[in-house]
Amino acid sequence: MNLAKEARDAHLGHVTRRHFLKSAGAGFGALAFATLGTTSAGSRDPLTARGPHFTPRAKRVIFLHMAGGPSPLELFDYKPELARLHGQDCPESLLEGKRFAFIRGIPKMLGPQATFQQHGESGAWISNHMPYLAQVADKVAFLKAMHTDEFNHAPAQLLVHSGSPRLGRPSMGSWVTYGLGTENDNLPAFVVLLSGGAAPDAGASVYGSGFLPTVYQGVQCRTKGDPVLFLGDPDGVPRSLRRKSIDAINTINRQQYEEVGDPEILTRIAQYEMAFRMQTSVPNAMDISREPAYIHEMYGTEPGETAFSNNCLLARRLVERGVRFVQLFHWGWDSHGAGESEALNGGFLERCQETDRPVAALLNDLEQRGLLEETLVIWGGEFGRTPMLENRTGSDNPFVGRDHHSDVYTMWMAGGGVKGGVTHGETDEIGYSAVSGRVHVHDLQATILHLLGFDHLRLTYPFQGRDFRLTDVHGHVVHEVLA
């Protein structure tokens, strides 16, 4: 009796859902399964280069995400009236019906912790914390009235990058890679670079592929040590033997795909092949020591270190080699004022110093190489900060900070079909609410896809009985910032 049970359990352990679908109903179950996950162009290679819906202005994207929510009131949104109100009790009308992460009771108003000047022919207001960016102000289109639905980090980051505050949706980079494929056979189409000492609060989901085939997820590369973990051959395994082993594995994979039609099998084949080619291409692409001295001076880079400046230079090296989407996350912008590291008069200043110079260098470098015109650069966080002082630490705290604020914040874009030297949207006299030009996160996503040649309503993927898209059921293109 026990032997029979063990034999039955062993048999059931080998019967997967795909085997069941293959055998059930003369194999029609497997055919139905295959139709649920075909590649967007019906190609056996899920990364085959494909054309968008219409002629694009941008061919590639560099997204600079400042994780934590940088305060626009100390960077781009000049509010002299807020300076006048500094230290006064916050009017109760600003608190009624609002949700805050940490503010309790009646907080004090907090004036700008920076000085501002107008820069460039456009007269853009930029604070003394961003002197290098101020020099390229006319390359940038500011979105001063961004808003989001979320006021905590992880869901707000997910909303920016996947269109939903909940786990399981594909990231923007994955959608772009799914829609366009790649023109580079030796590097990932979607590369992720981290700096600031920690990963984004939402983790790898902000560059994951969700329900898209996993071949479209972002590949995290490192600037210190091996660029990609476990990329090298095991000790004692020559490259020729590695090639033979991959050929044998993928022969079996192709046979299995012919039988069951599962797109994840194509993903495995593509990833084995890509990993083999990356063993030589990635170390070369990631080696910034090959750059001349004047480039290191421009960016402020130090080869071999994990730094935002290094990542900006890497972003340029990657896009000029054909990478579609480069995502940079720089952690540490959560300026509550509860301690020095997260204070507007502490860690915030360090974040500005770490990012200002390399960001301006990236724009100049792309432009001088003829790449900026077709490369869309995006800068911003997941939400803004309140004009009120966060008050959870008491009145004797020497550090100052602001709470999360979802109603209004600033992002900017440059290159890739965007007008330079424009400002879209305006906030009220204290930077608390928008008075014109409101742009939702989904509008930003629709605009990015439009610049890449996509109608965001038509870039879809079937999942669980309906067609999903990055912008969900929302989104309008912000035509005011398009060149």
302: CATH: 3.40.720.10
Secondary structure class of 117 (helix, strand, coil): strand
Interacting residues of 74 by C-beta distance below 8 A, sequence separation 6+? 112, 113, 114, 127, 129, 344, 348
- pLDDT at position 125, please? 98
Residue 293: CB atoms within 10 Å: 7
C-alpha span between 219 and 440 (Å, rounded)? 28
Total length of the chain: 483
Kindly report the backbone phi and psi dihedral angles of residue 407, in degrees, each rounded to the nearest multiple of 5, phi listed first: -75, -30
Does residue 369 belong to any structural domain of this protein? yes
pLDDT digits (tens, 9 = 90+) for 444-468: 999 999 999 999 999 999 999 999 9
**Higher per-residue confidence, 33 vs 288:** 288
Sign of the Cα pseudo-torsion (291, 297, 301, 304, in order): positive
Under 8 Å between Cβ of 21 and 260: yes
Range with the lowest mean pLDDT among 73-82, 173-182, 242-251, 428-437? Answer: 242-251
Does residue 267 belong to any structural domain of this protein? no
- pLDDT at position 47, please? 86
Judged on CB neighbours under 10 Å (0-12, 13-18, 19+), 126 is buried
Sign of the Cα pseudo-torsion (405, 406, 409, 414, in order): positive
Kindly report the backbone phi and psi dihedral angles of residue 343, in degrees, each rounded to the nearest multiple of 5, phi listed first: -110, 150
Does residue 403 belong to any structural domain of this protein? yes
- pLDDT at position 229, please? 56
Secondary structure class of 166 (helix, strand, coil): coil
C-alpha span between 101 and 155 (Å, rounded)? 13
Cα angle value 455/189/314 (rounded, 5°): 115
Range with the lowest mean pLDDT among 109-118, 183-192, 389-398, 408-417? Answer: 389-398
> At residue 21, does pLDDT exceed 50?
no
- pLDDT at position 336, please? 96
Kindly report the backbone phi and psi dihedral angles of residue 166, in degrees, each rounded to the nearest multiple of 5, phi listed first: -110, 155
Nearest CA to 110 among 425, 348, 381, 353? 348
Look-up: residue for tokens 């000492």?
A: 197
Secondary structure class of 325 (helix, strand, coil): strand
> At residue 222, does pLDDT exceed 70?
yes
C-alpha span between 136 and 297 (Å, rounded)? 17
| 73: Cα separation from own chain's centroid | 23
In this prediction, residue 361 has a pLDDT band, given cuts at 50, 70 and 90, of very high
C-alpha span between 154 and 134 (Å, rounded)? 30
Range with the lowest mean pLDDT among 15-29, 402-416, 467-481? Answer: 15-29
C-alpha span between 333 and 259 (Å, rounded)? 50
Does residue 101 belong to any structural domain of this protein? yes
Does residue 24 belong to any structural domain of this protein? no
Range with the lowest mean pLDDT among 178-182, 279-283, 357-361? Answer: 279-283
In this prediction, residue 331 has a pLDDT band, given cuts at 50, 70 and 90, of very high
Q: Domain count for the chain, please give it.
A: 1
In this prediction, residue 40 has a pLDDT band, given cuts at 50, 70 and 90, of very low
Look-up: residue for tokens 């968008």?
A: 52
- pLDDT at position 35, please? 38
- pLDDT at position 292, please? 97
- pLDDT at position 453, please? 98
Does residue 308 belong to any structural domain of this protein? yes
Pair of tokens at residue 69:
């929510």
Beta strand pairing call for 409-414 and 124-127:
unpaired
> At residue 134, does pLDDT exceed 70?
yes
C-alpha span between 230 and 28 (Å, rounded)? 39
Nearest CA to 39 among 180, 201, 166? 180
Q: Which CA distances in Å does 347 have to 86, 341, 384, 388?
A: 21, 4, 16, 19
> At residue 392, does pLDDT exceed 90?
no
- pLDDT at position 242, please? 67
Nearest CA to 481 among 416, 409, 432, 406? 416
> At residue 174, does pLDDT exceed 70?
yes
> At residue 324, does pLDDT exceed 70?
yes
Beta strand pairing call for 190-195 and 426-427:
unpaired
Look-up: residue for tokens 């300026």?
A: 335
Q: Which domain holds residue 382?
A: 50-227+286-481
Tell me how far apart the terminal alpha carbons of the chain are, to the nearest angstrom.
77
- Summary mean pLDDT of the chain: 88
Does residue 92 belong to any structural domain of this protein? yes
- pLDDT at position 253, please? 83
Residue 92: CB atoms within 10 Å: 8
Secondary structure class of 342 (helix, strand, coil): helix
Under 8 Å between Cβ of 231 and 282: yes
Does residue 320 belong to any structural domain of this protein? yes
